Structure 1
């Protein structure tokens, strides 16, 4: 196996995903940065190896990871940026965070769980062959502080909160199993703060300017924390400052 560290960014076409790619390249720590997205960006980076998945489903995710496994690449860092806060579901219906119980509906909940929980879980399942090995591998999933059950003081946002809490539980459960079968793998649930991207645009009016971060900043904050994380102490649930969030 090629022991030179390489990095993989999943969901690389969004603002945060692009920022992670740039920061991973700028750090000079990795011999190759890989990016998974639905299409090649308008301005692709020549040194990045792109893997295009038109539709993220279990079959395509497994095929992508199997292809990577055949190359015997040693991935030391994997960052999954998949997530949604507002969107349109498959029927074209607008998805917005619920403010009241009356706003809950099955289609919206299904959409939140599909994007925020199920797709990351399928990647978590498929990634093991490309991160398992002798060297420490950090696998990071973008979560949110509102996914904390014990820290929920405001209520609302039922589907988003619940789907991120479910993601956190999946990571916590998977780390227990990986400590038996892939002891080098460290799982991380990361809250990037409110980042100035399309995902947060409709909700930025109530955010203080000093709390609205650039994608570059939140990528830098996460990558600066990775060296201090260890598989035997995982999983971690951290915010952009490196502070632990209660599950």
Structure 2
């Protein structure tokens, strides 16, 4: 079976600083890939490169039947991308749902309106049908009773769960999570992780950048440990987390799991 996500030889620099250095990996359909690593290692840049939120300097990304060769994505003299390249990036982005660190909800829209905005505006779904589907998704993430509340009336964990429902509303082939619990108070982390665990059980394809190492060990099928823009070690969590071979991986995990 072909992978649902394939990233080949991705590179990205900001000025003279090369953030991603020739990274390649694949995600099997229905699997969960966790990306671990220290701050500044390139994790978020890599994740954002998968759907074109960040434009790598080179490399190829494929999600389902969408493919972009970023070496060919070049702005014209006015700094704009040609129409064909914009269309290719749009096709790639449409294959994934993105859950941000900060919730990025529309403050003037209710929870269900935040969830239905994409299906109505981007996909042209009938508003009544989108509303029904949006309420069903909010029920899935445990927020049926909060569908008509505004973001300021919700806790941080509830807002993040709205963000997850919003990502699912577009019926993506893969869901990308960027440190989904990093902005939450510790007591709210569990409610978000439970939703992600449920999605994994349902067979959603997911790529998760996270610092929750124990959670990654329980949920992920495959783990990438990234440091300095490189994949230092990868494999199943039983190897990378429970029995890492690379000294840098061992050092990182020791500091995270046994900080004292």
Q: Which category describes the TM-score, using the shorter chain as reference length?
A: 0.3 to 0.5
Q: Structure 1-normalised TM-score? A: 0.33
Ranked by relative contact order (alpha carbons within 8 Å, sequence separation 6 or more), the top structure is 2
Q: Structure 2-normalised TM-score? A: 0.32
